[in-house]
Amino acid sequence: MTKAKTFGGGIHPRYNKERTLNLPIVDAVVPKELVFPLSQHIGAPCQPLVKVGERVLKGQKIADSDAPISAPIHSSVSGQVVAIEKRPHCSGQDTMAIVVSNDGLDEEAVPASTGTSIENVPADEIVRIVREAGIVGMGGAGFPTHYKMVPPAGTKVEMVVLNGAECEPYLTADYRLMMEESEQVVLGLRLLMKALGADKGCIGVEEDKSEAIAALKQAREAFPDIEVIPLQVKYPQGSEFMLIRAITGKELPVGRLPAELGVIVNNVATAVAVANAVTTGKPLVERVVTVSGSMVERPQNLRVRLGTPVGALLEQCGLKGQPGKVIKGGPMMGVTLANLDVPVIKTTCGLLALSPEEAEPLEISPCIRCGRCVDVCPMRLQPVFIAQFVERGMLEQAEAYNATDCRECGCCSYICPARRPLVQNIRLAKSAILAKRRK
């Protein structure tokens, strides 16, 4: 057997996945009130299609946008719209949201047996279904999937890659999906391949998830054009750049589209959503969320209705005490939450409650120029220099050292023995440089 594929650089964080790895997905409690932010994706926010007081059904489209890069939003329960107002959002700012009071009936907007099969659905119809179902990149990026399914003129997508790396510590939601719904993963991949006219499909999975690899291999048995590719266990293997590098051997320059290399990448959870949308006709109204962290009493993989406040999930799983930090996503790239009324949205793949000790601010000491940040940077940047330029206000220099190539994976800050805020400073540089360019 050949060595598992990978990329240069990267780190081996403590994975902490064992708490939830072998726990089957179970349904989360459905709360009395659900909040649907009008922005759950990259691109234009949606406009409400419903009014306060109106009754909505489960799966009913309640917000949409004419903008090309956007995705509609559906109610995940039946009930009544009780407010359309600013509510806390995981971005840290209050944003416009539709608030639905759940009537507990789960009355469906889409009649049963509305779906179709891969044989009967034409390519452009798949794209339309995916758009109407409100599917976005569910690995955390939230880029509208339908937009990626129409590659720019002049490019031909030969390969669809599914990202099953799930390299963030703690998270096991994708792993459980690959285990429990491997048929849907493969069907979703075939639908994406059909829509794009791609000849080849690949599913990249970290090699230690051997059971998921076995399940997927069995599910793709009948489809010789689909390959399951074991990847080395390393963070950030699930970054689009690193996944393309590992699987195709090609490096995608920042600012270029994967389609220019003949590839598009989607998360395995996104593929499952695509398969479900086509076969059942139902839109994206729920997703799997790993709830974990040292302060969580019963870590679980929960199937959660979109719009559920994260506080309800923590309550369901139980807290051992006052957490020091609550994180949406994984510990490497996730964002801290100040307000637990923030709802689960399409990009919420994990919810972590860390202890006060784990949340202690780090003691920063002087840089000893060890170069570990340079060694681990998967984009081959020199984080130490860029961060120093930022500290001294030398933006042009930071730009000359390709600060804008940074994908913010955080390997540099993770590895730094002096605990310097490297990626944090590079983020500052990026936003300042991009702001300047826009002028």
Partner 1 sequence: MEQSKLRMSSSPHQHARENTSRIMLEVLMALVPAATLAVFFFGLRALGLMLVAVVAAVATEALLQKLSGRPVTIRDYSAAVTGLLVAFGVPAGLPLWIVAIGAAIAIAIGKQVFGGLGNNPFNPALVGRAVLLASWPAQMTTWVAPFTFLTSATPLGGGARPAYSTLFLGAVPGSLGETSALALLVGGLYLIWRGIIDWRIPVGFVGTVAVFSAVFGGDPLFHVLAGSLLLGAFFMATDPVTSPMTSWGRLIMGVGCGLITAIIRLWGGYPEGVTYAILIMNAFTPLIDRYVRPVRFGAARK
Binding site for partner 1 (CB under 8 A): 11, 13-14, 92, 169, 241, 250-254, 256, 314, 319, 322-327, 331-340, 352, 354, 356, 358-359, 361-362, 365-371, 374-375, 377-382, 384, 402, 405, 408, 410, 413-419, 421, 423-424, 427
Which CB atom, from 42 or from 118, has the smaller least distance to partner 1? 42
Other C-beta atoms lying within 10 Å of the C-beta of residue 29: 13
- How far apart (Å, rounded) are the C-alpha atoms in residues 323 and 85? 29
What is the widest separation between alpha-carbon atoms in the chain? Answer: 64
Residue 422: CB minimum distance to partner 1, A: 10
Which CB atom, from 101 or from 294, has the smaller least distance to partner 1? 294
- How far apart (Å, rounded) are the C-alpha atoms in residues 48 and 86? 13
Which CB atom, from 254 or from 434, has the smaller least distance to partner 1? 254
Residue 364: CB minimum distance to partner 1, A: 11
- How far apart (Å, rounded) are the C-alpha atoms in residues 407 and 404? 8
Q: 326-343 burial string, b = 16+ CB within 10 Å, else e? A: bbbbbbbbbeebeebebb
Q: With contact defined as beta carbons under 8 Å apart, do 169 and 163 qualify?
A: no
State both tokens at 72: 């509609």
Which CB atom, from 21 or from 275, has the smaller least distance to partner 1? 21
Q: With contact defined as beta carbons under 8 Å apart, do 379 and 236 qualify?
A: no
Q: Which amino acid is at 98?
A: I
Q: Which amino acid is at 134?
A: G
Q: With contact defined as beta carbons under 8 Å apart, do 202 and 160 qualify?
A: yes
Backbone angles phi, psi at 21, to 5 degrees: -55, -40
Closest among 395, 421, 417 to 408, alpha carbons compared: 421
Residue 33: CB minimum distance to partner 1, A: 18
Q: With contact defined as beta carbons under 8 Å apart, do 241 and 378 qualify?
A: yes
346 burial (CB, 10 Å; 0-12 / 13-18 / 19+) is buried
Radius of gyration of the chain (CA): 21
Which CB atom, from 298 or from 419, has the smaller least distance to partner 1? 419
Residue 368: CB minimum distance to partner 1, A: 5
Which CB atom, from 52 or from 362, has the smaller least distance to partner 1? 362
- How far apart (Å, rounded) are the C-alpha atoms in residues 274 and 127? 9
Residue 11: CB minimum distance to partner 1, A: 7
Residue 410: CB minimum distance to partner 1, A: 4
Residue 330: CB minimum distance to partner 1, A: 8
Which CB atom, from 132 or from 375, has the smaller least distance to partner 1? 375
Which CB atom, from 47 or from 91, has the smaller least distance to partner 1? 91
Residue 275: CB minimum distance to partner 1, A: 31
